[in-house]
Structure 1
Amino acid sequence: MSKSENINLFTPLKIRDCVFQNRIGVPPMILFNAVDGKPQDIHLIQYGKYALDAYGFIIFESTAIEPNGRSTLKDCGIWSDDFIPDYKRITDFVHKYGSKIGIQLNHCGRKASGSVPSIEKRKGFITLSEGGWNVVGASSLKYSEDWNDTKELSINEIQNYIKLFVECAIRCVKSGFDFIEIHGAHGFLINQFISPLTNNRSDEYGGSFNNRIRFLKEVIIEVRKVIPNNMPLFVRLSCEDLCEGGITISDTINIVNEIKDLGVDLINCSGGGVVANQTIPSDPLFEVVYAKKVKESTGILTAAVGGICSSELANNLIENKEADVVLIGRAALRGAFYPRHAAADIGTDIPPYHQNISYATTPPRYCKY
């Protein structure tokens, strides 16, 4: 596609051999309904609904590479071959209705063993007596005062975690996922190595910029080796730590320049999460700017996320080439954003609800908000 070609939300996007029917995606959002790491019927229903809603692609929620990598006891995992049929059921359904689905691989590191969010305020760390577990990290720094102590990983343990990412990536392929996203954001394990706020190591995985991004690079290199060459690989980054002394957008651009030739196809641009005392900007769309800056500075494909809830905004981001994909999170959960409505709003063909039905450019009245 030439740079001068006009594109919009519903221009298909091809990454390697994967063709997304449109540029509207659903970011990974944990449902907190897994049982012993396994996805349940609610996952089939929720992610299947996104396919029926005509989202071009879906990122299955943060999925742990080992039980102790979960943020809560209700997180999904993919640490066992026994889980493959449960995921295959979901991917098969999504594919039946024309969407693509990927999965986000993660280890929560020092932010693991948390309580399940509820209507009430989240309690924080779950103790061993309550069913929790000891947590690990790049360094022995606690996430917050109400969290348990963090054990600093040894080099041998780091190498083992790289192997776990690889083993889980193989399972993702067998489960029928179209792409994989490596979670390097939000203060989880990979992000804990990247950020100087959470990494005070003095070995080859700490100190300098190149040392702090070594773990991320090694995970990417090894995962890329075991997944098909035509399978896209995404990385999610916290483009800024939102705290003094942390990662800035300039640092992130440097990171992307280091990893883009390792087989990474798209950067999912998010922010924050590495420390509890971060300062969130007042503009609810502050993360959207990251996608534009990373794309312009590195030439890599980017996904914009954070507060996008209108067809006009989403389409403008694509038309103005500020991002290649828009990820609709909370608005998708609320049903406040719907691809078919968006198509009607911008005056383009509406994706069919079933493969043999098309509403054409002018929709029936009930297709509008």
Structure 2
Amino acid sequence: MPGIRLFTPFSLRGVTFSNRIVVSPMCQYRAVEGAVNAWHLAHHARFALGGVGGAVIEATAVERDGRISEGCLGLWDDSQIDGFRQLAELYHGQGISVGVQIGHAGRKGSSASPWDGAGPLASASPPRGWPTVAPSAIAHAEGWPIPAALDEAGIARIARSFAASARRAVSAGLDFIEVHGAHGYLLHEFLSPISNSRTDRYGGTSENRARFALDAAQAVRQAVPDAMPVWYRASCVDESAGGVTLDETIELARGLKDIGIDLVDCSSGGIRGPVARSTRPEAPGHQVPYAERIRREAGIPTMAVGLITEPGQANTIVSEGSADLVAIARELLADPNFVYRAARSLGHPTPHALLPENFGFFLARRNMQAPDTSST
């Protein structure tokens, strides 16, 4: 609406987001054999009833051995489609566009949940887990197993798995796909010199290191309808010496745009440690400058993510052209009514209209009776 950019619609291909606030993908580590269950439905119902413009379902493995943990969702088998269909219907019932983030964990797979230490399952008692793969036989960290270096046949197989999972997402009725190329997982491992010491066409130069990420993204793009947007989540910088630079990610974004990718979701880090367990102090919106530069220099829409916690901050990001969308994660966990709170804070004339009618009706009456009420 005029003056509040955060509450204007945004369209990509055949999909429109009613506002610029998107639920960021948040791993729940609660699946059994990759299947959606009651926990996931309850988790997402909180946001679907809260008026978000869009949502991205958590990191979902394209192969069973591509899971981060035993509790990760998957779309490696047709039996998993129905659970995702239920999530799609949950959001669609509120007029909200929803997609899924698909990926392969690479050398960071076969790990425990964050609250169990996020370490390798091979070190658990008793040891368990599955073999991991990576661009090179370089362990993620001390105490982690050495992954098997993928050969070109393995690389091609995983690219096909990305495409197959994308087709299952289409069958589930989801609106868009996000390819997970961040946080130290397989596609990011190929991109980073820290984890990629190959000397073939998938290693060495930045162009070669980007090849698999582009191949996987293109496989997804070709597997889904033209009207379906495809996004890519990037770790824009490695935050480690000798790692991926922002200039390299801008070049990657240009390549993604050339193959028909519609948006870059701009995160960072993860190549040397578990992002979910990080306690390093960060400034609010510390990754927004990455989204702004990629949007400006690569000419592709972007989504900003990371410590976006205040309504005014979110509105400024989209109003000033730093990003087209803002992804909210932990702030929505803390307050699933963030959208309503933001609308009231920013002076939206009818914030109750962003919510389901049977919520909005009573909140509108409450606001007429007590217009100075500041709580949600």
| TM-score class, shorter | over 0.9
Q: Aligned match of 2:17 in 12, 20, 26? A: 20
> Match of 1:315?
315
* Residue 344 of structure 2 corresponds to residue 344 of structure 1: yes
CA shift, 1:285, in A, is 2.7
> Match of 2:113?
116
CA shift, 1:220, in A, is 1.6
Question: Which secondary structure state, in structure 1, belongs to the residue aligned with residue 232 of structure 2?
Answer: strand
> Match of 1:335?
335
Question: Which secondary structure state, in structure 2, belongs to the residue aligned with residue 59 of structure 1?
Answer: strand
Q: Distance in 1 between matches of 2:41 and 2:120?
A: 29
> Match of 1:144?
141
Instruction: Provide the aligned C-alpha RMSD in A.
Output: 2.3
> Match of 2:355?
353
CA shift, 1:321, in A, is 1.3
Letter in 2 for 1:12: P
Q: Distance in 2 between matches of 1:87 and 1:19?
A: 20
Moved more, 342-351 or 26-35: 342-351
Q: Distance in 1 between matches of 2:177 and 2:194?
A: 27
After TM superposition, the score normalised by the length of structure 2 is: 0.91
Q: 1:281–1:193: structure 2 CA closer, same or farther, 3 Å change rule?
A: farther
> Match of 2:375?
368
Moved more, 308-317 or 356-365: 356-365
How many residues are aligned here? 364
Question: Which secondary structure state, in structure 2, belongs to the residue aligned with residue 130 of structure 1?
Answer: coil
> Match of 1:125?
120
* Residue 73 of structure 2 corresponds to residue 72 of structure 1: no
Q: Distance in 2 between matches of 1:23 and 1:94?
A: 16
Cα offsets for 1:5-26 (capped at 9, x unmatched): 8661110011111011100011
Q: Distance in 2 between matches of 1:70 and 1:49?
A: 25
**2:12 and 2:262 in contact (8 A); partners too:** yes
> Match of 1:214?
211
CA shift, 1:104, in A, is 0.2
Unaligned runs of 5+ in 1: none
Q: Distance in 2 between matches of 1:212 and 1:269?
A: 19
Letter in 2 for 1:127: A
Q: Distance in 2 between matches of 1:39 and 1:179?
A: 18
CA shift, 1:333, in A, is 0.8
* Higher helix residue share: 2
* Residue 162 of structure 2 corresponds to residue 155 of structure 1: no
Letter in 1 for 2:249: T
Unaligned runs of 5+ in 2: none
Cα offsets for 1:38-66 (capped at 9, x unmatched): 01111111112211001110100000011
**Aligned-pair identity (%):** 35
Q: Distance in 2 between matches of 1:174 and 1:355?
A: 30
CA shift, 1:368, in A, is 3.4
Q: 1:336–1:56: structure 2 CA closer, same or farther, 3 Å change rule?
A: closer
After TM superposition, the score normalised by the length of structure 1 is: 0.93
Cα offsets for 1:287-312 (capped at 9, x unmatched): 12211111111221111111011101
CA shift, 1:282, in A, is 4.1
CA shift, 1:354, in A, is 2.0
Question: Which secondary structure state, in structure 1, belongs to the residue aligned with residue 114 of structure 2?
Answer: coil
Q: Distance in 2 between matches of 1:123 and 1:345?
A: 38
